[in-house]
Amino acid sequence: MSFKLPKLSYSYKDFEPYIDQKTMEIHYTKHHATYTNNLNKAIYGTDMMNLTIEEILKKSPLGSTLLRNNSGGFYNHNLFWEILIPNFEYIDPSSYFNDIIQKNFESFDFFKKKFSTIALNRFGSGWAWLCVKEKKLTICSTSNQDNPIMLGIGCEGIPILGLDVWEHAYYLQYQNRRLDYISSFWKIINWKKVEKNYNKIVNNLHG
């Protein structure tokens, strides 16, 4: 098996003014493409060629920087593109999913503040995650291209939403203003997709 870049359902310019067209294009065609190509090279000729990306993530040893960075970079960006939606198509979370958020975090505003704070305080490069763990929603952060599916990183669960806080995701437009980038993120989240991710995981847990 070789992994391929996903097809985007929108154009690079559809996220302006929240994420500029040039950043989207470079992020997808350069950074994500590089992770994808390097992942295929790393697993070529090994038993991992027959595994899913989730299985590879679980088997990526802590000491294997090449495999972890590129398998994580491939998976993380796939999820990132999926949970974005142009602002002109934005819809608030459904009452059903909003209730779930409130049950786990007291209120949507508290959830938003906690997630934003974790994303802002991630030192250096990494990600902030909303995950399902034992049927509950949790928020955590990982460094570099690690993610909650990997073992032994102190951030466990199955991610349903992720925010890329590597500088390549925002620096052309926001420079060092990571908080402004995080604030913009809330205006372009595809909550229908996030809810779908949640339901799929919870239904599998029930099964």
Q: Is residue 183 part of a domain?
A: yes
| pLDDT number for residue 207 | 54
Q: Is residue 7 part of a domain?
A: no
Q: Is residue 5 part of a domain?
A: no
Q: Which domain holds residue 153?
A: 20-207
How many Cα neighbours within 13 Å face the side chain of 91?
Answer: 11
pLDDT band with cut points at 50, 70 and 90 for residue 204: confident
How would DSSP label each residue in the chain? ----PPPPSS-GGGGTTTS-HHHHHHIIIIIIHHHHHHHHHHHTTSGGGGS-HHHHHHH--TT-HHHHHHHHHHHHHHHHHHTB--GGG--PPPHHHHHHHHHHHSSHHHHHHHHHHHHHH--SSEEEEEEEETTEEEEEEEETT--TTSSSSS--SEEEEEEE-SGGGTHHHHTT-HHHHHHHHTTSB-HHHHHHHHHHHHHHHH-
Residue pLDDT, tens place only, 45-91: 999 999 999 999 998 876 688 999 999 999 999 999 999 999 999 99
Q: What integer is the mean pLDDT of 151-170?
A: 95
Q: Is residue 11 part of a domain?
A: no
| pLDDT number for residue 206 | 64
Q: What token pair was written down for 31?
A: 């950074």
| Maximum distance among all Cα pairs of the chain, rounded to whole angstroms | 49
Q: Quote the pTM value.
A: 0.96
Would you say residue 123 has pLDDT above 80?
yes
Q: Residues of the chain with pLDDT > 90: what percent?
A: 90
Q: Is residue 10 part of a domain?
A: no
Using N-to-C axis directions, what is the helix angle for 178-185 and 108-121, rounded to 10°?
150
- CA–centroid distance for 109 within its chain: 20
> Domain containing 134 — which CATH number?
3.55.40.20
Q: Is residue 83 part of a domain?
A: yes
Q: From 68, 163, 86, 87, select the one nearest 125 (Cα to Cα).
A: 163
Q: Residues of the chain with pLDDT > 70: what percent?
A: 98
Would you say residue 19 has pLDDT above 70?
yes
| pLDDT number for residue 184 | 98
| pLDDT number for residue 13 | 98
Q: What integer is the mean pLDDT of 103-107?
A: 96
Q: Evaluate the omega torsion of the peptide bond into residue 17 and state whether it is cis, within 30 degrees of 0.
A: yes
| pLDDT number for residue 160 | 98
Would you say residue 175 has pLDDT above 80?
yes
pLDDT band with cut points at 50, 70 and 90 for residue 42: very high
The domain tally of the chain equals 1
| pLDDT number for residue 135 | 87
| pLDDT number for residue 1 | 64
